[in-house]
Amino acid sequence: MVRNIICYNAFQHMKIIKNQIEHLIGEALRQEFPDKVGSEIPIDYPTEAIHGDYACPIALKLGGNPRENAQKLLAAIQKPDWLEKIEIAGPGFLNFYLAPQFLNDFLREIIQAGEHFGESDVFAGKTVVTDSSHPNVAKPMGIHHILSTIIGNSLNRIFAAAGYKVVRDNYLGDWGTQFGKLIYAYREWGDEAAVKKDPIPELLKLYVKFHDEAEKDPSLEDRGRAEFKKLEEGDAENRELWQWVVDLSKAEFEKIWRRLDVEFDVIHGESFYEDKMQPIIEEGIAKGVFVEGERGALIAPLQDESMPPAIIRKADGATLYATRDLARIKYWEDTWHPDVMVNVVDVAQELYFRQLVEVAQMLGITDARNEHVQFGRMSFPEKKMSTRKGNIILLEEVIDEAVERARAIVEEKNPNLSDAQKTAVAEAVGIGALKYAVLSQNRTTNVTFTWDKVLALDGNSAPYLQYAHARASSILRKAEEEDAGFADTGAGQLQEAASLNLARLLPKFPEVVARAAEFFAPNYIATYLFDVARAFSAFYAEVPVLQAEEPERTARLNLVKATKIVLANGLGLLGGVQAPEEM
């Protein structure tokens, strides 16, 4: 028999139950199937509670008779007391059922951990550097920027919760020929006072005007390139004007980032890498990775022949995105020595990042896992949802409309709130709805955005989860008002099916967070929270809490408190979605 390594009291402080079940099965494998030690041990979540809390199909993968394999494994496992039972189901699944006593006691663990519940050390000792948001200087942040910004922000929070040291970078588009065009346009048609008053729209107007005029007079393109060349060569006047534009743009971006609760540790634009590209070029040539292509361009032929060569430098000597990105990868490696590098960029750049990663590997500039976290596109069938300027749906306008629509819902559902409360709730609900609309779906799929779905109180939406949190908060406030509190005497036990169904979900939260970090998938957390909110709704409808007698009353209040903590912590990981106390 396998020695029961994990006693009940010690297990209370272990956060990843799934890993402990995997360990039990691993020890059983060592005894009964020693030649299979080291095999992957898949642990799944059954879709129905009658099949347990965890299921393992490994007996089906060992060869021979799966059910006999499962019986051998079951006999080799000495059931720890935090498990109620282990059963064999179907052709050979091992189903694990958490003990009701463990579930009752684990609620106190959640309450004690508070805002830290969900954190783990799965990736402790590892560093991840991420790049997200990356708007272009002198241009407004469009709604398309919400995807990289919100997905990146959520992943940064999830990575940190799973134990990573996280470095949050923002690779601004602040360099290139377009700045020569903008400099020329500003000198020709710009108004300093107008730009200072309304920076981004005025700069965009100048940029658009340049292109309109260039259609009439193509020689303007050469003048724009000439101004950028002066900028590259360090012309003091052009540098000063460029820096002014960058500073104005960053100040405008910061307003939106603050509103979305997004922060960065460093903001290094493309210009930061201008003096770091030549060493990369020289290294690539010396190693034979970069060779001369057509008309004198510098290229990197790839080992994967299905991909075209990566262009490193144009025939006229101009560098490209790839040149700067290679310099960025080397800088990240030399500065932070990360285990993982993450770029949150849309699916249209898939080929580019495949090329980039292969070139970086050929150069040997980092051993880090280099991950392109790609996402789909967002579409807006409701044309009236935002004012269009050119072809851009402005992100700030969509945020404003979300808050305005949320305010109308708050006015209807809870008119007794003060004006200040209504404003705060509307901001939390509106912005939370936007974030959740992005994060609740598989990031690689396209998102179709409709206000009714995004702001629904009865579906898979942020307001639905926020409402569940507010309802739990209301129960706990009423308990405190009655001087009952929710200090557990240890005597009360959860026994009702609705109570246990909810309690069974809560210990899985750290596992879901770790899995979301492993697969760069915030939607895992969103799906889990939706299940928790639905289970809480069923519990609330079926099981009295404040009207219950002691000690059951205290046990149920502990369940409410633990649920509230999980909902708040989970929403926080979804890009900082707020969890209102009232709605």
The domain in which residue 529 lies consists of 395-573
Single pTM value for the model: 0.91
Does residue 332 sit in the same domain as residue 470?
A: no
Residue position matching structure tokens 């040149």: 323
**CA 40 to CA 61: how far, in whole Å?**
10
For residue 533, give the CATH number of its domain.
Answer: 1.10.730.10
- pLDDT, one tens digit per residue, over 237-265 is 999 999 999 999 999 999 999 999 999 99
What number of CA atoms fall less than 13 Å from residue 500's CA on the CB side? Answer: 16
Q: What's the confidence (pLDDT) of residue 486?
A: 56
Answer yes or no: is 122 within a domain.
no
Amino acid identity, residue 507?
P
Does residue 9 surpass a pLDDT of 50? no
Residue position matching structure tokens 């009232």: 582
Q: What's the confidence (pLDDT) of residue 11?
A: 35
Does residue 287 sit in the same domain as residue 206?
A: yes
Does residue 351 sit in the same domain as residue 304?
A: yes
**CA 185 to CA 177: how far, in whole Å?**
13
Answer yes or no: is 43 within a domain.
yes
Mean pLDDT of 218-243: 94
204, 181 contact by CB (below 8 A): no
* HEC letters along 452-498: HHHCCCCCCCHHHHHHHHHHHHHHHHHHHHCCCCCCCCCCCCCCCHH
**CA 88 to CA 440: how far, in whole Å?**
34
Does residue 417 sit in the same domain as residue 556?
A: yes
**CA 559 to CA 109: how far, in whole Å?**
11
Does residue 413 sit in the same domain as residue 363?
A: no
Lowest mean pLDDT of 9-23, 31-45, 250-264, name the range.
9-23
Does residue 215 sit in the same domain as residue 337?
A: yes
Mean pLDDT of 437-466: 88
Does residue 581 surpass a pLDDT of 70? yes
Does residue 407 sit in the same domain as residue 483?
A: yes
**CA 499 to CA 543: how far, in whole Å?**
7
Does residue 189 surpass a pLDDT of 50? yes
Answer yes or no: is 510 within a domain.
yes
Does residue 200 surpass a pLDDT of 50? yes
For residue 24, give the CATH number of its domain.
Answer: 3.30.1360.70
Structure tokens at 356: 């980039």
Mean pLDDT of 172-201: 93
How far, CA to CA in Å, does 363 sit from each of 117, 336, 341? Answer: 42, 19, 16
- pLDDT, one tens digit per residue, over 91-105 is 999 999 999 999 999
**CA 376 to CA 339: how far, in whole Å?**
26
Answer yes or no: is 116 within a domain.
no
- The percentage of the chain sitting over the pLDDT mark of 90, rounded to a whole number, equals 81
Answer yes or no: is 260 within a domain.
yes
Q: What's the confidence (pLDDT) of residue 488?
A: 53
Structure tokens at 396: 């700030």
485, 549 contact by CB (below 8 A): no
Does residue 178 surpass a pLDDT of 80? yes
Does residue 155 sit in the same domain as residue 64?
A: no
* HEC letters along 144-200: CHHHHHHHHHHHHHHHHHCCCEEEEEECCECCCHHHHHHHHHHHHHCCHHHHHHCHH
Does residue 158 surpass a pLDDT of 70? yes
Does residue 199 sit in the same domain as residue 295?
A: yes
**CA 471 to CA 475: how far, in whole Å?**
6
The average confidence (pLDDT) of the chain is 91
- pLDDT, one tens digit per residue, over 305-350 is 889 999 999 888 888 899 999 999 999 999 999 999 999 999 999 9
- pLDDT, one tens digit per residue, over 483-523 is 655 555 556 789 999 999 999 999 999 999 999 999 999 99
- Report residue 382's pLDDT band, with 50, 70 and 90 as the boundaries: low
Secondary structure of residue 20 in the 3-state scheme = helix
Q: How many domains does the chain have?
A: 3
Q: What's the confidence (pLDDT) of residue 491?
A: 61
Does residue 542 surpass a pLDDT of 70? yes
